[in-house]
Structure 1
Amino acid sequence: MAGEFFEGGYPPPAFYFTVTFGNGSQVPDASFSEVSGIALEMETEAVVEGGENRFVHQLPKSIKHPNLELKRGITMLNSPLVKWCKDTLEGDFMKLIVPQTIVVKLNGADGTVLRAWAFINAYPIKWDIEGFNATKNEVAIEKMTFAYTYSKRSK
């Protein structure tokens, strides 16, 4: 029965997570402040049955997922992650787009992996720098958005 609950019987906090790219090695600059877009949704098709006015059939069609978004403070241009984004988004399609697997892991307080999601054949599609404001004392934030073929949860 104890294995059914997380530490202390409470849901895990969402602030202790890791992100890895490609072969699973931790890229030195892969520390992100926020991850969003971990979702699956089944698309349905409405089919009206002739003579039946009480309801409309909702038939399963396909699985869709939003783009994966990663936010962090702006980092150095010589990092492998930034190089991948630059090559893909600033390469004018002269270089091949190189998809990679992105793995997001939610960790417990002791560092054990509680949940993990793999995003297969991911590649950057947007690289956004949040606005600058001289009246605020905030860190400059970049947001990287990735498309992917499919995702799978491994825990």
Structure 2
Amino acid sequence: MPDSDSSTMYPLVSFRYSVIFDNDPIGFSEISGPNLEYEVIKYRDGLSKQYGEMKLPGRPKVSDVTLKKGIFPSDSKFFEWIMTNHNKLKRKDIAINLLDEEGKTKMVWTLLKAWPMKIEGPTFKGDSNEVALESLTLAYEELKIEAR
């Protein structure tokens, strides 16, 4: 049972977060992922008296992460990053911080050795007044999760 302190009594909300990119916080309107799962290795020994197979943990797999944000004039850092990867892969560590009500970091998902695999521009519609969003999809090698 959690103690009576309200900071541990209720779960954190998903709309208070920040993303650290090149040591600078960047505002994103939506982040999908990150996920970590393990492959399942099915194994049955020929001498086993057990009828079914055993399931063993295999290699870890991480999913791609997609970040969406509004487009601002003269803000092309993601496009420049993906274009530099055309010739030479430049990887970065990206931190996604989940914040409490006071703005303090409570959980961190760090995408290690991330690189941009896709960038999407906005959907253009003549009858809409929505904010123009760009979408950046990142591949990465390892996911580090820590509670603070």
The alignment's TM-score, normalised by the length of structure 1, stands at 0.80
How has the CA–CA distance of structure 1 residues 76 and 99 changed in structure 2, closer, same or farther, with 3 Å as cutoff? Answer: farther
The Cα shift of 1:130 comes to 4.0
Do structure 1's residue 34 and structure 2's residue 34 form an aligned pair?
no
The Cα shift of 1:134 comes to 2.2
- Aligned CA RMSD, in angstroms, stands at 2.3
* Secondary structure at 1:86 match in 2: helix
Higher strand share: 2
* Secondary structure at 1:154 match in 2: strand
Distance in 2, matches of 1:54 and 1:38, equals: 37
* Secondary structure at 1:85 match in 2: helix
Question: Could you report, residue by residue, the CA deviation over 1:34-79 in whole angstroms, capped at 9, with x for unpaired residues?
Answer: 1111111010122244376842222221000101110111234444
Q: What are the residue-to-residue correspondences of 1:113-152 with 2, within 5 Å?
A: 113-152=105-144
- Checking the alignment, whether the CA contact within 8 Å between 2:97 and 2:105 is kept in structure 1 is yes
Counting matched residue pairs gives 145
Do structure 1's residue 62 and structure 2's residue 59 form an aligned pair?
yes
* Secondary structure at 2:24 match in 1: coil
Question: Could you report, residue by residue, the CA deviation over 1:68-96 in whole angstroms, capped at 9, with x for unpaired residues?
Answer: 110111234444344213322xx3x2xx2
Q: What are the residue-to-residue correspondences of 1:69-88 with 2, within 5 Å?
A: 69-88=66-85
- Checking the alignment, whether the CA contact within 8 Å between 2:92 and 2:114 is kept in structure 1 is yes
How has the CA–CA distance of structure 1 residues 53 and 134 changed in structure 2, closer, same or farther, with 3 Å as cutoff? Answer: farther
Q: Which ranges of structure 2 fall in alignment gaps of 5 or more residues?
A: none
Moved over 6 A (4+): none
How has the CA–CA distance of structure 1 residues 6 and 149 changed in structure 2, closer, same or farther, with 3 Å as cutoff? Answer: farther
Identity %: 28
The Cα shift of 1:7 comes to 2.6
* Secondary structure at 2:128 match in 1: coil
